Structure 1
């Protein structure tokens, strides 16, 4: 994990190929002509392509018109699609409001393109079986040669009345319980299920890729830029952070693995019209220790005072769900120790977001990054997390 390690010839060839395709796409702006092609951007999606992927088995159904609307840009690009179906499509109640998640640029393809296959598998095959609230993925595709990826989702604002959370969203106690229950269901269902887990990347792969691409330096820069929101006691121990993060990374190989979302910050949760919690953006899904998701979720989704007041009860609730629903026993003291250590990997998701390393896209507004860093670093200080590595 030497951050000065040179890029391998194979990786260089792969990146060069993807860069060439991304440049070609941006210059030519091709529209997909065949169903098996992967659109480079939402603007490249055709009515014929949508008909093939959304109306299979519905005789005569066809998309007659499509409008590409607004969305957002980050590690991937999301755009709203509004479809007009013919009479057969309307009669079959085929989806009208969608979101397309694509990777049009070199940076988006490098940062999230490779993970698209795992995200599509989870949202099409796993979350529906678990019964957790998550986006419904209607179509998913990945082209290794070009790095293009696409996911088509139902528009949650239409189907579930969803409101996506941001740094100003307040999560109440019932919603905090649902967050914990969702994680317990995910983790408990796949704990040490090696046959299923073998199809997903390991957490260490993401960490190591980031380490090779400058997240250590980005973290250090952000620790300075965000010092106004980081407890003073931690600033004097900055040299301990990176070794602790590496040690927390190694914890994933030392304990039982399960399927983890791995990016469970507040902005990836949404609230349905009925007030229930849903979990979106599974682009970082991988295998690792359950404690990463738990530490990351509690330290980012809850206001600091709420976390302090509720977290011990929430840990107990999570452990009860594991034991009652899945027959998995984890002692409270051991669980708390693991959570303390994984707070370090949670912080490493947000310091490079504030100060992206070269080659990484801007992924979040500065206000969101600062709030997440404040919450996580305060949790690190509250739990004396650095001392958990002594």
Structure 2
């Protein structure tokens, strides 16, 4: 089916066609665009009216259309396709709380991919935010959820050749490295170092040659540890909480990675600088305990601590170069400051020298 490329092309007729993939007789009588939220992907809240048959199915009156509707979207097609495939093929197999999905599809000949998903606001969920660091109990609950979904896919046979998840790449390979290389060029790197986020971190962390070398060290580190299914982008802007505090996840960029990829990234993104210094050890131990409780042979604390200290480099890179069309400068600067502080506290520079 043809996918809309403009917001005004999201009509009752198109939504009906999308929903009929799962609900063959659904009739959508009306569709109104209520809100447009810009970002890496565009999220569009729509209000829907159904006929009596549709009402009997108890489908929600509001949904979110997620896809590429902005000037930068043609260059993000691989990310959109990956997420649509995640919703269509991965999430039905994975024990992770996410918004319900009603349609996921990609244009094989273009850049567009569309996900039609549940509107979390309508059920009272609250969204996490970079400028609102989280408390100890909140992060504990999140780590418990991570341990559960990591354990489920730990060294899973679905990743093997011919398996249903074999298409999911290891983190430090392929598309990830191609994307990163665009930002590891001197002129581009210097542009971000010269921005407010660059001024907010120590000059010791401005070294492009060190960052390039760190990528090789991280690839080696990942290759020496068991891989599982990773959310891939566990910063606060991609997370929510149910009304009862249960943690939820969205905006996945799934890849195969060791456990510490999601955990390190989340811990440093989620915690205030001083809280992280006080809480990171007990929180890391709690995650390892949860992983063991799920039946995984968890690493001992010293090994886990070493991996955590090294993995900090990944998040530091991400938020040094993250474009303001994806996150505001305020958000990028907040995260940069957290990763920079962690890198200096843990001597990540020397560990990956």
Fold agreement, TM-score > 0.5: yes
Return the alpha-carbon distance in structure 2 between the equivalents of residues 185 and 122 of structure 1. 18
Q: Distance in 1 between matches of 2:41 and 2:291?
A: 33
Verify: 1:243 aligned to 2:213, yes or no: yes
1:320-335 correspondence runs (5 A): 320-335=289-304
User: Tell me, what secondary structure is at the counterpart of 1:114?
Assistant: helix
Whether the 8 Å contact between 2:272 and 2:338 is mirrored in structure 1 is: yes
Q: Is 1:268 aligned to residue 238 of structure 2?
A: yes
Matched, 1:364 2:299: no
1:347 lines up with 2:316 in the alignment: yes
Equivalent pair of 1:299/1:375 in contact (CA under 8 Å): yes
Partner of 1:152: 116
Aligned in 2, Cα 1:315/1:216: closer, same or farther, shift over 3 Å? farther
The alpha carbon displacement at 1:342 in A equals 1.1
> 43, 47, 51: which is aligned to 2:8?
43
CA distance 1:340–1:370, shift in 2 (3 Å): same
CA contact 2:21–2:103 (8 Å) conserved in 1: no
1:229 matched residue in structure 2 = 200
Measured on the aligned residues, the alpha-carbon RMSD in Å equals 2.3
Cα distance in 2 for partners of 1:58, 1:133 equals 23
Q: Which residue of 1 aligns with 2:96?
A: 132
1:321-369, Cα deviation, whole Å (9 max, x unpaired)? 222203222121111111111111111111111xx4xxxx721111111
The counterpart of 1:381, out of the listed 336, 344, 352, is: 344
Shift in CA distance, 215/46, structure 1 to aligned 2, threshold 3 Å: farther
Check conservation: 2:66, 2:114, Cα contact below 8 A: yes
Q: Indicate if the aligned counterparts of 1:171 and 1:302 stay in contact, CA closer than 8 A.
A: yes
1:201 paired residue among 169, 174, 180? 169
The range that moved more, 312-321 or 203-212, is: 203-212
Equivalent pairs counted in the alignment come to 345
The alignment status of 1:162 with 2:132, answered yes or no, reads: no
The CA deviation at 1:240 is 2.4
* Deviation (angstroms), 1:54: 2.2
- What SS does structure 2 have at the residue aligned with 1:78? strand
8 Å contact from structure 1 (residues 42, 100) kept in 2: no
Unpaired runs of at least 5, structure 1:
1-35
Alpha-carbon deviation of 1:90? 1.3
Q: Partners of 2:199 and 2:81 in 1: how far apart?
A: 39
TM-score (ref. length: structure 1): 0.81
Match of 2:33 among 50, 68, 76: 68
Partner of 1:12: none
